[in-house]
A and B are shown apart, each in its own frame.
Chain A
Amino acid sequence: MGDPKQGIHGLAINPKHEFDAIVVGSGISGGWAAKELCEKGLKTLVLERGRNVEHIKDYTTAFMHPWQFPHHLNTSVKDIEENPVQSQSFDEGNKQFYVNDREHPYIQETPYAWVRGYQVGGRSLTWGRQCYRLSDLDFEANMKEGISVDWPIRYRDVAPWYTYVEKFVGISGKPEGLPQLPDGAFLPPMEMTCLEDFFTKKIREQFNDRIITIGRVANLTQAWNGRGPCQYRNLCSRGCPFSGYFSSNAATLPAANATGNMTLLPDSIVMEVIYDEQKQKATGVRVMDVHTKTVTEYFAKIIFLNASTIATAAILLNSVSRSFPNGLGNSSGQVGHNLMDHFLGVGGQGIYEGFNDEYYYGRRPTGIYIPRFRNINDATRQKDYVRGYGYQGNGNRMDWASQIGVGSFGKDFKKDLLTPAPWSMWLGAWGEMLPYFENRVALDKDKKDKWGLPLVKVKFEMKENELAMRKDARESAVEMLTKTGFKDVSGFDYKAPRSTAVHEMGTARMGRDPKTSVLNGYNQMHDVKNVFITDGACMTSSGSQNPSLTYMALTARACDYAVAELKKGNL
């Protein structure tokens, strides 16, 4: 493979295929690695297994009206049959950003929805954009409770990096001064609806252990770094032609590209990391072209794996050498294990009789947030579970779809249908899941995908702690709504089909001891010093906060460390 190949951006690839750095994956953490490494002057190759998605140009559905879609955004039976997993998340407007389940099979030893987007930008195009900092309540939890292993870092290590990435991303939110959910560098918050504002005040009256804040979200309430502002269409997952929210495509990849140091290669599946037994280092990656299946090797001094939690583990497990017969950097035997996610699908809802003459304007792309209030101190200690959950919620007038079952038909029905419906409040918990060794991903020995790569198999289940927490999350939602004057209050708890948040974490955890963890406190592999992993795989515990912001901060921090080490000649 001597031919210089032209990357999407940047220079022709040199004949020796040599770079300073390789970044595997272009999603939310890969985009950050690309930006940071390029800005620090490293010639960086970014490999993405999916197709290229050019910012704005390739957001083909972004301006479409509901009536311009064949099924007005409904999912077809054929889509559900062909994509039993992805169709739980997509609609006609954004399904181009989800993989095809038939083309990308995996084995569910227990039911687990692995929702994926193989394209430049990855799932940063379709993410929920909620941004919350972890705190020492999270970083110290494993140690204090004797669960799993201790995080090798504390909040003070990450805090400046949270600020650093927040200032670039642009996150709207309101400071609340909570120790368990530290404030960030926020853009102005979005407004609450009348009902949310009412609920916030009532909760403050009725409960002294919890507050409600507006969702902290990577949507721009003002123009920011040449992007936005948000136009309040709430169509983010189709890609935003206004650059109103943060994605790799809108923000980090253009910044990386602007340095002239990035070469981006889409349609390139990283099969394995190449390990040199003599040098005891990784020297590069072996890559297969998605279309031609041609295999090429690329080389670099440092490698960042940002393929996403499960895919990163799969690459490590598939990178077998004499030194690492069980997968690269897997002397601990922990690679692939301790798979975590956040549970969801549990909470409550109720109707509010009032605010009949009030409404709102625009479509806010976030809801409200009730930060964790369980097990944060002795007064909030729970008997039957550790850790906690936060609620995301919405207080809106119900939409027309809620009126289908109401009334009969004809003129009166139509009049009611077109009139704003009563207000309702919905609360859903996002809960912490503990790391369990037996929740894991592994490679199947026999079954392969169409590129000849072993299929990933997943075993994942909630246990006692999660189930007890779910029970409480349902009851607490009902209690809050009942005590604040809602009617027809009901709880819900859907365990299937998709009861997790697409927040996979933990398959190459950070830790202090190389015997029990894969990465050190700088996301550097204990065993292979020039490989860094800064996607969700690195997480030692899951917290209850949406994790992307933490991946971004840890990525920027790890890049800073890696480049410093490189300059010192340590890598």
Chain B
Amino acid sequence: MDRRKAIGRIILIGGGGLATYAGYKLWDWNKTPDLAFLDQHKNLIAALAEAIIPTTDSPGAKEAAVADFIIIMVKDCTEIKSQNRFIDGLKELKSYTLSSFNKTYEQCTDQQKEQVLKYFEDMDKQPKGIVGKAEKKFFGEPFFETLKTLTVKGYCTSEAGATKGLSYLYIPGKFVGCMPMQPGQHAWATN
């Protein structure tokens, strides 16, 4: 089932007469999430994070151990509906990859990985504005959004990401309000 369309349908139906499918989905996303699934799929999560923030001349998500962060964040800092949508998303992504390329995501080439991720990115695109906000409130955060948000947060607040990807000042000792950007200056890691 294309979830993008399903959600569109739920929204169109509106609050007055939730159809069976919408009711089912809401129930489904409020069930107790299978959090052990996350630990069992740490390699998959790590590969997905690395596809979002790959290794270049600076460390990627893998070196920054972003998968560990994603797992603990989904477990501890994520609402139940978003937890379920994240886990469901991983499951769908697994089967989509298998049926498309006959191998696991981790085994895919970089190009195939990108293709799969693009598919899920497009599927989870949120409507803008108030509809998107309402959608998130009722149905939780879509899989790709959680994945990308936590990957970026995990990377930018990791030691490797903050100190080698971004620029991290531990104890600045001074404040200079306005200065020319240094060559190759990266964004500050903390505010």
Q: Which residues of A contact B (CB under 8 A)?
A: 65-67, 70-78, 190-194, 196-197, 231-234, 357-364, 396-397, 399-401, 403-404, 408-411, 413-415, 417-421
Q: Which of A73, A396, A403, A408 contacts B157, CB < 8 Å?
A: A73
Complex contacts, B173 vs chain A, CB 8 Å: 231-232, 362
What is the CA–CA distance of A413 and B79 in the complex, to the nearest angstrom?
27
Could you list 22 examples of A-B contacts with CB < 8 Å? A65-B170, A71-B76, A71-B77, A191-B176, A194-B178, A196-B177, A233-B172, A358-B178, A358-B181, A359-B179, A359-B185, A360-B175, A361-B174, A362-B175, A363-B169, A400-B156, A400-B187, A404-B153, A417-B152, A418-B58, A419-B186, A420-B185
**6 shortest interchain CB distances as A-B pairs:** A191-B177, A362-B172, A362-B175, A194-B178, A72-B157, A409-B52
Complex contacts, B136 vs chain A, CB 8 Å: none
Output the nearest chain B residue to A192 by Cβ-Cβ distance: B177
Interface of A is mostly: loop
Measured as residues with beta carbon below 8 angstroms from the partner, the interface class of chain B is 35 or more
Interface residues of B in 133-189 (CB under 8 A from A): 148-149, 152-154, 156-159, 162, 165-166, 169-182, 185-189
Contacts A191-B176, A191-B177, A196-B177; A66 near B152 (Cβ below 8 A): no
- B56 at the A interface (CB under 8 A): yes
Of the candidates A70, A191, A410, the one having the most CB atoms from chain B within 10 angstroms of its own CB is A410
A-B contacts besides A71-B73, A191-B178, 13 pairs, CB < 8 Å: A65-B162, A65-B170, A67-B158, A71-B72, A72-B153, A77-B78, A191-B176, A232-B175, A359-B179, A362-B173, A363-B172, A414-B60, A419-B187
Are B187 and A421 in contact, with the CB atoms below 8 A? yes
What is the CA–CA distance of A197 and B178 in the complex, to the nearest angstrom?
9
Are B178 and A192 in contact, with the CB atoms below 8 A? yes
Are B187 and A418 in contact, with the CB atoms below 8 A? yes
Are A399 and B187 in contact, with the CB atoms below 8 A? yes
B72 to chain A, nearest CB (A): 7
Are A359 and B148 in contact, with the CB atoms below 8 A? no
Complex contacts, A190 vs chain B, CB 8 Å: 175, 177
Contacts A66-B162, A417-B53, A420-B181; A361 near B172 (Cβ below 8 A): yes
B29 to chain A, nearest CB (A): 15
Are B152 and A362 in contact, with the CB atoms below 8 A? no
Are A420 and B187 in contact, with the CB atoms below 8 A? yes
Output the nearest chain B residue to A74 by Cβ-Cβ distance: B77
Contacts A72-B154, A360-B176, A409-B51; A77 near B76 (Cβ below 8 A): yes
Q: Which of B58, B162, B171 contacts A233, CB < 8 Å?
A: B171
What is the CA–CA distance of A339 and B18 in the complex, to the nearest angstrom?
44
What is the CA–CA distance of A72 and B158 in the complex, to the nearest angstrom?
8
A368 to chain B, nearest CB (A): 11
What is the CA–CA distance of A67 and B164 in the complex, to the nearest angstrom?
14
Q: Which of A191, A363, A364, A414 contacts B190, CB < 8 Å?
A: A363
Are A361 and B77 in contact, with the CB atoms below 8 A? no
A133 to chain B, nearest CB (A): 24
Are B73 and A74 in contact, with the CB atoms below 8 A? yes
B122 to chain A, nearest CB (A): 10
Complex contacts, B191 vs chain A, CB 8 Å: 234, 363, 396, 399
What is the CA–CA distance of A192 and B156 in the complex, to the nearest angstrom?
26
Are A78 and B76 in contact, with the CB atoms below 8 A? yes
What is the CA–CA distance of A378 and B161 in the complex, to the nearest angstrom?
55
What is the CA–CA distance of A403 and B149 in the complex, to the nearest angstrom?
10
Of the candidates A197, A364, A411, A417, the one having the most CB atoms from chain B within 10 angstroms of its own CB is A417
Complex contacts, B182 vs chain A, CB 8 Å: 359
Are B77 and A77 in contact, with the CB atoms below 8 A? yes
